[in-house]
Chains A and B, each alone.
Chain A
Amino acid sequence: MRHPKDRSGLTRRQLLRGAAGSALGVSAAGLLAGCENTTEPIGAGGGGPTGPASKLVVAKPTGPGGLPLPRPDNAVTWAITSNNRPVAAGRPPERGPLRVYNYAAYIDPALVKRFGAKFNTSVQIATYNSADEAIAKLSSGQVAFDVIIGLTGSNIVDLIAQQLLQPLNHEYLPNLKNIWPELQDPFYDRGSRFTVPYVVWMDGIGWRNDKVKQDIASMDVPWDIFWQSQAYKGRVGILDDKQDALSMPMQRDAMRAGVRPDLNTESPAAVKHSQQELSELNGICNVKVTITDFQTLPEGSTVLHQSWSGDLLGAAFYYLPKGVKANVLSFWGPDENGVVQNDFLCIGRTAKSPVLAHRFLDFLLDERNAYQNFVDFTGYTPPQKAIDAQALISRGLIPPTLTKAVVRPDQFAANQELLQLSVEGERVWDNAWSQFKAG
């Protein structure tokens, strides 16, 4: 799943693309030593091809490197191996500098400055444009970071398979208790051994309520609006991400039928069907495929867009042109059976300041700091027990039309995360996406 801050595509803010993939020589057998809940590895059993052909893809219900794919009904506890132990407890923080790897503009600089002052250190932030780029650079060994921000459950298998993360020592993370209980022990990383949550968001519909006549939020199936958008032709957009976009018709169909969809399905027929439904939008509204809705909705160049919740809040905070009020922006997201996602914080395996890195993680898990980061800068909801949408509205921080853009714990639990697929599953989705984007 592409990240809201993924600016690897051409946008008005960032125009450069992610790095090309690099060939990775990872031994499946070695990787499996790091995993407790696993299935049969790719190529296991012997008798397989040799030479270059030994690297050929073999379809298995497993993820990259032959590791299990975490799912809500298949929680994974990643093993802590003898050659990659957490830092010992009770040590003082290193002098730094603390090296942080993050999406651009995805942490409040004032907060970072305050951390530096508190621990008498400097914080150096390097940015990446896409998760693919981040993982490729981390795995190349050319960059070493203490803290990595912004990767998700859809990257965890890649990160573990290539042993890019250092296990966490919870002695240094007392503020983890502030986080929603289900995210203190997520299914993709049982026991939060390698990751702790940063922010959450959901997929929904963003629109200009002064230009779209329909009351989208009260429709039986709000997703239907995209198939009824002839009047807004050329001003309708969907997210430029294969999983977000292709899972939208799946949600629509499931909502109509009153069933729970499998938004991580690898069934070629289901994905193909979804692609065909999505392709109907080409004729209906000449749909745009972008991730610039945070800018185009406030401007009015799009009036209806599939959106990430945090981008709508960001739009209200920062991107309103002169004379446009925040309450013209509306957001709807499903209470259940839709898409939610969780960014996490983690520590690089080659971290030079691991204790300081833990302190930084704990600093970001602090209630007040997380709140400041949310309302002063990112617009993305931290999964903190103390933050709720109603309180923010009553303080006048966000308009009532954007209430739904603040993700609630019950909503997070009843929706689904878009997760890493098997190698074959990924190709099924990629092919469908390629067909859709060809018009």
Chain B
Amino acid sequence: MTSRWTWRFLALPGVAWLSIFFLVAFYAVVAVAFGNQDTLSQPVPFWNPLDWNVGYVVDVLRNIWHGEQYLTVSLRTLEFVAVAMALCLLIGYPVAYFAARHAGRWRGLVLLLLIVPFWINYLMRMLAWINLLSPNGWGTTVLHDLGIERLFITLGLLSAPGGWLEGQQSTVILALVYGYIPFLILPLYAALDRIDQRQIEAARDLGASPASAFLRVTLPLSMPGILAGCVLVALPMFGDYFTPDLVSASTKTNMIGNQIDQLTRQGSEKVTGAVLTLLLAVVLFALMYYYLRSTRRAGMVETE
């Protein structure tokens, strides 16, 4: 009994921290989104739900319904995140698989290399890419020499040689992949590392080919890691606004985060900014809910 209360007591600071810095802050966003603005164009939060003004929420929903700017950026955001997440998975899974199952005595080094990007600030890494991808940058030269630039131009993903920073959607997506891929690899590595090697060996003993053993055993067992990784990369990508700003700055690559940033930072539409924040949070909550349900199901399958 004492032990149980000790743990509850130890959890108290964390709960208090989350209550103050998440729940209260989040409720402030809700109160602003359902509030109004005063005669100085500043938001007036309505704290009491009985006073809530749904006008701004309705305006944004109407805007989306009529296919105006908030729908445009929402769909673009969805597209960017989906493609970037898929690329993260395609690139990240083999890396995590190698690190977990084949790195052997190099595992420590591989893990270290996976963590190294976290040592450098995300924005600094993006700023470095601006120099690398400038028309005379090393990155541009390498991409040209490897034929990747030509491939991108052929596929219509790049408008001109050396034009990586000329407002390209492909550059923004690749930057998102680069920036967030470690968040996918690490949980995936943990999931793959936990898989009991004997289960794979059993599959092989029972006649499964390596590919079949992977598809029928390894892949299903790594599903919680895949889901966790996808959620971990998708959540920050949905709210990202500085990556498109830094590597593109074109209106054609603006995401929902850019709209929120612009609306909340200055001007008279801060309440609308809060509404978009709230709607984005609802979508992310739904994503999170799906993840939790899926992992719970996966857990049940595992224990059966």
Q: Which of A2, A64, A237, A300 contacts B249 (CB 8 A)?
A: A237
Per-residue interface assignment for chain A, residues 338 to 374, with 1 indicating a CB less than 8 Å from any chain B CB and 0 otherwise = 0000000000000000000000000000000000000
Q: Judging by beta carbons under 8 Å apart, are A434 and B263 in contact?
A: yes
Check B70 for interface membership: any CB of A closer than 8 A: yes
Please state if B44 and A64 are interface contacts (CB–CB under 8 Å). no
A21 touches B123 (CB 8 A): no
Contact for A439 among B76, B123, B160, CB less than 8 A: B76
B159 at the interface (CB under 8 A from A): yes
Specify which chain B residues have a CB less than 8 angstroms from the CB of A10 in the assembled complex.
123, 241-242, 245-246
On chain A, the residues within 8 Å of B45 by CB distance are 23
User: In the bound complex, how far is the Cα of B249 from the Cα of A158, in angstroms?
Assistant: 30
**A296–B37 alpha-carbon span in the complex (Å):** 37
Question: Once bound together, how far apart are the Cα atoms of A24 and B44, in whole Å?
Answer: 8
Q: Contacts A17-B265, A286-B167, A423-B268 given; indicate if A439 touches B40 (C-beta within 8 A).
A: no
- Residues of chain B contacted by A290 (CB below 8 angstroms): 249
Residue on B with the closest CB to A60? B39
User: Is B209 close to A, CB under 8 A?
Assistant: no
Query: How big is the B interface, by class?
Result: 35 or more
| Chain B residues within 8 Å of A2, by CB | 266
Closest Cβ–Cβ distance, residue A275 to chain B (whole Å): 10
CB distance from B202 to the nearest CB of A (A): 53
One of A132, A235, A436 near B266 (C-beta < 8 A): A132
Indicate if the CB atoms of B252 and A301 lie closer than 8 Å: no
Given the known interface contacts A8-B265, A52-B44, A423-B268, the answer about A437 and B251 at a Cβ–Cβ threshold of 8 Å is yes
Given contacts A132-B266, A439-B76, contact A12 B127 (CB under 8 A): yes
A21 near B270: Cβ-Cβ < 8 Å = yes
Q: Distance (Å) between the CB of B140 and the closest chain A CB? A: 12
* Binary contact track B23-37/A, C-beta < 8 Å → 1, others 0: 000000000000111
Chain B contacts for A51, CB-based, 8 A = 51
The interface residues of chain B lying within 8 Å CB-to-CB of A438 are 68-70, 72-73, 251, 254, 259
Please tell me if the beta carbons of A234 and B160 are within 8 angstroms of each other in the complex.
Answer: yes
Q: Which A residues are CB-close (under 8 A) to B258?
A: 437
> Are A437 and B252 in touch, CB under 8 angstroms?
no
A23 and B259 contacting across the interface, CB-CB below 8 Å? no
CA distance A64 to B160 in the complex (A): 48
Task: Check A288 for interface membership: any CB of B closer than 8 A.
Answer: yes
CB distance from A165 to the nearest CB of B (A): 15
Q: In the complex, which residues of chain A have a beta carbon less than 8 angstroms from the beta carbon of B266? A: 2, 8, 18, 130-132
Q: Would you give the 0/1 interface string for A131-149, flagging 1 where the beta carbon is closer than 8 Å to chain B?
A: 1100000000000000000
Q: Is B163 an interface residue (CB 8 A)?
A: yes
Contact B163 A234 (CB under 8 A): yes
Complex interface residues of chain A between 44 and 96 (CB less than 8 A to chain B): 51-52, 55-57, 64-66
Q: How far is the CB of B108 from chain A (nearest CB, A)?
A: 34
Quote the shortest CB–CB distance from A225 to chain B (angstroms). Answer: 18
**Contact between A161 and B40 (Cβ–Cβ < 8 Å)?**
yes
* Contact, CB under 8 Å: A439 / B249: no
Closest Cβ of chain B to A153, distance in Å, is 16
Interface hits, B222-255 → A, CB 8 Å: 241-242, 245-246, 248-254
| Cα–Cα, bound, A65→B159 (Å) | 49
Binds B, one of A114-122, A377-385, A424-432: A424-432
When the two chains form the complex, which single residue of B35, B40, B168 contacts A162, counting CB atoms closer than 8 Å? B40
B133 to chain A, nearest CB (A): 10
Select A235's contact among B166, B245, B252, beta carbons within 8 Å.
Answer: B166
**Is B268 within 8 A of A23, CB to CB?**
no
B197 contacts A by Cβ under 8 Å? no
Interface residues of B in 41-60 (CB under 8 A from A): 41-46, 51, 53
Contact for B269 among A233, A287, A434, CB less than 8 A: A434
Pair B43/A21 contact, Cβ less than 8 Å: yes
Cβ–Cβ < 8 Å partners of A130 in chain B: 265-266
> Which listed residue (B41, B134, B248, B261) contacts A299, Cβ 8 A?
B134
Q: Could you say which residues of chain B place their CB within 8 Å of the CB of A434?
A: 69, 259, 262-263, 269
CB <8 Å contact, A42 and B39: yes
**Complex-state Cα separation, A435 to B66, whole angstroms:** 13
User: In the bound complex, do residue A301 and residue B135 qualify as a contact, i.e. CB atoms below 8 Å apart?
Assistant: yes
In the assembled complex, A123 has its CB within 8 A of some CB on chain B: no
Does A242 make an interface contact (CB < 8 A)? Answer: yes
Most chain A C-beta atoms within 10 Å of own C-beta, residue among B123, B241, B249, B252: B249
Task: Kindly state the separation between the CA atoms of A18 and B261 in the bound complex, as whole angstroms.
Answer: 10
Task: List CB contacts (< 8 Å) of B246-299 with chain A.
Answer: 246, 248-254, 258-259, 261-270
CA A439 to CA B72, docked complex, whole Å: 8
Contacts of B76 on A, CB cut-off 8 Å? 439
B38 close to A (CB within 8 Å): yes
A219 interfacial by beta-carbon distance below 8 Å: no
Known A-B contacts A17-B265, A434-B69, A437-B259; A64 and B254 likewise in contact (beta carbons under 8 Å): no
A286 touching B264, Cβ below 8 Å:
no
**Which residues of chain A in 1-45 are interfacial with respect to chain B, using CB atoms and an 8 Å cutoff?**
2, 8-10, 12, 15, 17-18, 20-26, 28, 42-43
Complex CA gap A390/B163 in Å reads 39
- Residue pair A288, B167 in contact (C-beta under 8 Å): yes
Q: Does B165 touch A at the CB level, under 8 Å?
A: yes
A161 and B159 CA atoms in complex are apart in Å by 50
Q: Which residues of A contact B (CB under 8 A)?
A: 2, 8-10, 12, 15, 17-18, 20-26, 28, 42-43, 51-52, 55-57, 64-66, 130-132, 158, 161-162, 233-235, 237, 240, 242, 279, 282, 286-290, 299-301, 423, 426-427, 429-431, 433-439
Q: List 17 contacting pairs A-B, 8 Å CB cutoff, sorted by A.
A: A24-B38, A24-B40, A52-B53, A55-B37, A55-B38, A55-B39, A57-B39, A65-B39, A233-B159, A234-B160, A286-B159, A429-B267, A437-B254, A437-B258, A438-B72, A439-B250, A439-B253
A-B contacts besides A2-B266, A57-B38, A430-B269, 6 pairs, CB < 8 Å: A21-B42, A22-B42, A23-B43, A26-B39, A42-B39, A234-B160
